[in-house]
Amino acid sequence: MSELEALFLQTLTSQLRALDQFGTWAKKSDEELLCEKYVKSKEDLKNIPIIADIDEMQIQDIRLIFQSIALAFELKTGVMCSVVMEMSHEGFGRAVVLAEKIVVTNKFFKDAHRYSFRTYDDLVKEGGKMLHSALEIFEQYHLKVG
């Protein structure tokens, strides 16, 4: 696991655990918890309709992924980040992570209620990839302007 992947995992897990007010996840390992939230097999997906409404919980879970990118980015660079996310109740939407005046992450959703990863490894890799790309974009714009 790369450094960025580990950082993403750490920020995602800590934010998830912070929401566990009643300790219901206390006995679960980080991997179990993340799998429950974000990993869906092909078989699982077959049981989720293509067109369906998305609920507030799911929107919150998706938001956490981008907040983790933002937080990891902050830890890495010291630059404050923020997330702006827009989501229709049908699961169409967009999430952006902003650092200063730069859009470092940009993701569109067409069926957010199905947003998931096939395996735990996929989740970790995707997080690392998004974080890497965010740092690259920021450096490209920031270095030349700042």
- Under the rule (CB under 8 A), what is the footprint of a copy of itself? 84-86, 94, 96, 98, 101-104, 106, 137, 140-141, 144-145
Query: Please, what is the minimum distance in Å from the beta carbon of residue 94 to a copy of itself?
Result: 6
- Using the structure block, give the residue that is written with the tokens 């992450």: 105
Residue number with CB closer to a copy of itself (26 or 143): 143
Nearest to 57 by CA among 16, 93, 94: 16
Q: Extract the tokens encoding 20.
A: 């566990």
Residue type, 133: S
Query: Please, what is the minimum distance in Å from the beta carbon of residue 45 to a copy of itself?
Result: 27
Residue number with CB closer to a copy of itself (95 or 123): 95
The H or E element spanning position 139 is helix 120-145
Which CA distances in Å does 131 have to 35, 61, 95? 20, 18, 14
Query: Please, what is the minimum distance in Å from the beta carbon of residue 103 to a copy of itself?
Result: 5
Residue number with CB closer to a copy of itself (36 or 53): 53
